A and B are shown apart, each in its own frame.
Chain A
């Protein structure tokens, strides 16, 4: 079992819907990440939070809105998505953003936009 928990595991939403993806870790990690992954492709970095502050936003469209309520929780709010946004959304955490501490991934949310 992964120590990073993501919910829901699967999500189907229409282009006018608003939904949220949730991620939780209790390892005391201070950096949390959102990645987007298409089939058989590497994960693409979307957002990085370090000590609950957004530190990296990799030019992600505004229809994706991250939120870090506390050091254990990370949300990704979705609104007015497009079918091409269908993908596996992975959350990860690390002890610290620097120092090369490894990433711990959740098992992802499989998102389908219809």
Chain B
């Protein structure tokens, strides 16, 4: 059973456009992390969110943790080709991380 659903699964946009990726669950999480995986590499941590309603910014990326700590979103402003990759949310349960279904983003120059 997949506890973390991401949408959309695939996204292809033009350089300069904005986009939002969603990570949803019916469970409450103590914390949630976002990772980005570029082609040919392992996932790299972008951010950890812990508090319900929390908003964190990383340059053009804005991360939000839902008030009830069941969902999260990642918004990218003015996407660039370097943003291309697989975006993964991950939650901690039973002292172990599991990943969401993933969003594959392609930014076309």
Contacts and interface: CB of A to CB of B under 8 A. Distances in A.
Interface string A37-71: 00011111100100000001000000000000000
A19 B69 CA distance: 43
Interface string B35-46: 100001111110
B104 A40 contact: yes
Main secondary structure of the interface of A (DSSP, over half): loop
B92 A105 contact: no
A40 B86 contact: yes
Contacts, number: 53
Interface residues of A, number: 22
A107 interface: yes
Contacts of B10: 40
B105 to A, nearest CB: 11
Given A43-B43, A92-B42, A100 B96 contact: no
Contact of A97 (B30, B95, B102, B104): B95
Contacts of A43: 43, 88, 99
A42 B101 contact: yes
A104 B10 CA distance: 25
Interface residues of B, number: 26
B33 interface: yes
A100 B31 contact: yes
30 contacts: A2-B42, A40-B10, A40-B86, A40-B102, A40-B104, A42-B86, A42-B99, A42-B100, A42-B101, A42-B102, A43-B88, A44-B99, A45-B96, A45-B98, A97-B96, A100-B31, A100-B33, A100-B48, A100-B50, A102-B33, A102-B48, A103-B35, A103-B43, A103-B45, A103-B90, A104-B45, A105-B42, A105-B43, A106-B42, A108-B41
The 5 A-B residue pairs whose C-beta atoms are closest, nearest first, are: A105-B42, A42-B99, A98-B95, A102-B45, A42-B102
Interface of A: 2, 4, 40-45, 48, 56, 90, 92, 97-98, 100, 102-108
Interface of B: 10, 30-31, 33, 35, 40-45, 48, 50, 86, 88, 90, 92, 95-102, 104
